Chains A and B, each alone.
Chain A
């Protein structure tokens, strides 16, 4: 799949970078390229734009990242049973436009689609982490503030990442995506250290809410191809949206997935219910006023987020978990941004500590 850009802004300081050269070389000729002194300014919302966030998605800013690349997952919290995920921020924002996406709130003040030219510095951070915590089983992903593979045909970042991780037995890279942009991946041998994960939603959610993403069937097909190329694969049923008929549709989706990819070849499946802060809900409804998926039976929870009321949400988790468990291989399953109590209710056992879950999901 190909995404469209209106403009590419390149920060003066990274003009000569390999990333800038690659992007200019691969970008369509009609995309305007300009140079700016400070990419942070170029990433700000355009004044007077009716949809500054949406506009930011079409404006790539190639710049130097000033902050560390590596951090703990921003969704992690002591109130949740977490998965020990570490995040590498190599880009910020995404050319796709899902109605429920938290970036609409998180990046409201700097929506320009930033890609960081000094991303190789992230490898130094990872080396420092490896020296400090020489434990196996760290799972590091790039798909938190951006889709890991969107625009990979332009940036080619995945090649450097996969090659770096291929030489490190104590690290697992997770590339999280809703695209089928896998051409760079299938040309490299990941040596078992890269896992590609897809967010999967039923057709109804995809059509209603996941704008400009690859269709669910195309995501599954892409997974099948990277699996054949030596990658591990995983799936995120997240966000699960509890619309009328959702249980039937999500169960069918799991069946379709297991028909295409044998469950024993799936590293893990995560589940997470739709959750939105009040601010995100207001932004999403303003941007997508006709999307019925954004007006479900969500209520304000103790953590200040709107979620599907608890019995319905937990019943959905239980039904999906049951279907996954009934497959012969029982891929590992975990919940995202849910409490230890919810974890116990759904899986019938206490959640393991995040470091243990992280190591398990990393496959070590």
Chain B
């Protein structure tokens, strides 16, 4: 019996069945079956409860393993397991939630990404708040590089007619200081926690 109360053979059969139905690549199935019992069971619960698609499962599995490794690296004495990560409150809330399974599956991936990239998430939220505070009119959009992968900030203006364009350009000019600040933030001008 596993710690979660499921017979190990039954658990592995269930995993193999799920993997076969979803055409899970062999490499991932082998990794899954090589996990500790509790981790295997926790992952199966997620896969079944949220009816994960194969791509979602692979992404989630990779993210969870990376989160565990990162957290073990932060505190070497901690034994961070996949089951422990999936038992966290923010993940349980998704698993026990009442929304549609596809919606909750997407939320799971987003939540795992936030745990995997904590400083990136905080920086993106910070920039989003700065952009919102500028109060730019509809028709002016500040476009940040995807996942802040470069230092390029783009400002898009969509206007119908000269008057509208002039008005939007004026609003960009009025927001100049704030926009410069956002570009500087993308360029690392402000403090990001040195710790996770």
Instruction: State the A residues within 8 Å of B (CB).
Output: 208, 243-248, 289-293, 295, 297, 299-302, 307, 309-318, 339, 341-342, 345-346
Report yes or no: B188 in contact with A243, Cβ–Cβ below 8 A: no
Partner of A244, one of B123, B148, B186, B195: B195
Partner of B151, one of A243, A246, A247, A341: A341
Report yes or no: B73 in contact with A314, Cβ–Cβ below 8 A: no
| Chain B: number of interface residues, binned into ranges | 20 to 34
Report yes or no: B188 in contact with A310, Cβ–Cβ below 8 A: yes
Partner of A310, one of B72, B149, B190: B149
B108-125 interface code vs A (CB 8 A; 1 in, 0 out)? 000000000111100100
Task: Determine the distance from Cα of A346 to Cα of B184 in the docked complex, in whole angstroms.
Answer: 11
Partner of A307, one of B149, B188, B195: B149
Instruction: Indicate whether A244 sits within 8 Å of B74 (C-beta atoms), given known contacts A302-B149, A310-B150, A311-B192.
Output: yes
Q: Check B187 for interface membership: any CB of A closer than 8 A.
A: yes
Task: Determine the distance from Cα of A92 to Cα of B1 in the docked complex, in whole angstroms.
Answer: 52
Report yes or no: B188 in contact with A314, Cβ–Cβ below 8 A: yes
Chain B residues, Cβ within 8 Å of A346: 188
Q: Check B147 for interface membership: any CB of A closer than 8 A.
A: yes
| Min CB–CB distance A312 → chain B (angstroms) | 5
Query: Using a CB-CB cutoff of 8 Å, which residues 78-122 of chain B contact chain A?
Result: 117-120
Report yes or no: B147 in contact with A299, Cβ–Cβ below 8 A: yes
- The A interface is mostly helix, strand or loop, or mixed, namely helix
What are the 8 A-B residue pairs with the smallest beta carbon separation, nearest first? Answer: A292-B73, A314-B188, A315-B188, A299-B147, A244-B196, A345-B187, A309-B148, A247-B194
Q: Check B133 for interface membership: any CB of A closer than 8 A.
A: no
Report yes or no: A315 in contact with B148, Cβ–Cβ below 8 A: no
Task: Determine the distance from Cα of A190 to Cα of B187 in the docked complex, in whole angstroms.
Answer: 41
Query: What is the chain A residue whose CB lies nearest that of B147?
Result: A299
Instruction: State the B residues within 8 Å of A (CB).
Output: 66, 69-70, 72-74, 117-120, 123, 145-152, 185-192, 194-196
| Min CB–CB distance A314 → chain B (angstroms) | 3
Chain A residues, Cβ within 8 Å of B148: 299, 309-311
Task: Determine the distance from Cα of A292 to Cα of B72 in the docked complex, in whole angstroms.
Answer: 8
Instruction: Indicate whether A345 sits within 8 Å of B188 (C-beta atoms), given known contacts A292-B69, A299-B147, A309-B147.
Output: yes
Instruction: Indicate whether A311 sits within 8 Å of B185 (C-beta atoms), given known contacts A292-B72, A293-B73, A300-B149.
Output: yes
Partner of A314, one of B72, B118, B149, B187: B187
Chain B residues, Cβ within 8 Å of A292: 69-70, 72-74
Report yes or no: A248 in contact with B151, Cβ–Cβ below 8 A: no
Task: Determine the distance from Cα of A357 to Cα of B69 in the docked complex, in whole angstroms.
Answer: 40
Partner of B66, one of A295, A300, A342: A295
Chain B residues, Cβ within 8 Å of A307: 149
Chain A residues, Cβ within 8 Å of B118: 297
Report yes or no: B194 in contact with A309, Cβ–Cβ below 8 A: no
Instruction: Indicate whether A312 sits within 8 Å of B123 (C-beta atoms), given known contacts A292-B69, A295-B69.
Output: yes
Chain B residues, Cβ within 8 Å of A243: 73
Partner of A309, one of B72, B74, B120, B185: B120
Question: Can you spell out 14 A-B residue pairs with CB atoms less than 8 angstroms apart?
Answer: A243-B73, A295-B66, A295-B70, A297-B118, A297-B119, A299-B120, A301-B149, A309-B119, A309-B120, A310-B186, A311-B148, A311-B188, A314-B151, A314-B188
Task: Determine the distance from Cα of A310 to Cα of B145 in the docked complex, in whole angstroms.
Answer: 9
Query: What is the chain B residue whose CB lies nearest that of A292?
Result: B73
Report yes or no: B187 in contact with A310, Cβ–Cβ below 8 A: yes
Partner of A290, one of B69, B152, B195: B69
Task: Determine the distance from Cα of A295 to Cα of B69 in the docked complex, in whole angstroms.
Answer: 8
Chain A residues, Cβ within 8 Å of B191: 315
Most chain A CB within 10 A, of B73, B74, B117, is at B73
Chain A residues, Cβ within 8 Å of B119: 297, 309, 312
Task: Determine the distance from Cα of A245 to Cα of B192 in the docked complex, in whole angstroms.
Answer: 11
Task: Determine the distance from Cα of A314 to Cα of B188 in the docked complex, in whole angstroms.
Answer: 5
Task: Determine the distance from Cα of A341 to Cα of B152 in the docked complex, in whole angstroms.
Answer: 9
Partner of B194, one of A245, A291, A302, A345: A245
Chain B residues, Cβ within 8 Å of A318: 188-189
Chain A residues, Cβ within 8 Å of B185: 311
Task: Determine the distance from Cα of A289 to Cα of B119 in the docked complex, in whole angstroms.
Answer: 23
Chain B residues, Cβ within 8 Å of A293: 73
Instruction: Indicate whether A311 sits within 8 Å of B186 (C-beta atoms), given known contacts A244-B74, A292-B70, A292-B73.
Output: yes
Query: What is the chain A residue whose CB lies nearest that of B188?
Result: A314
Chain A residues, Cβ within 8 Å of B74: 244, 292
Task: Determine the distance from Cα of A300 to Cα of B120 in the docked complex, in whole angstroms.
Answer: 13
Instruction: Indicate whether A299 sits within 8 Å of B188 (C-beta atoms), given known contacts A244-B195, A293-B73.
Output: no
Chain B residues, Cβ within 8 Å of A315: 188-192
| Min CB–CB distance A315 → chain B (angstroms) | 4
| Min CB–CB distance A177 → chain B (angstroms) | 27
Chain A residues, Cβ within 8 Å of B195: 244-245
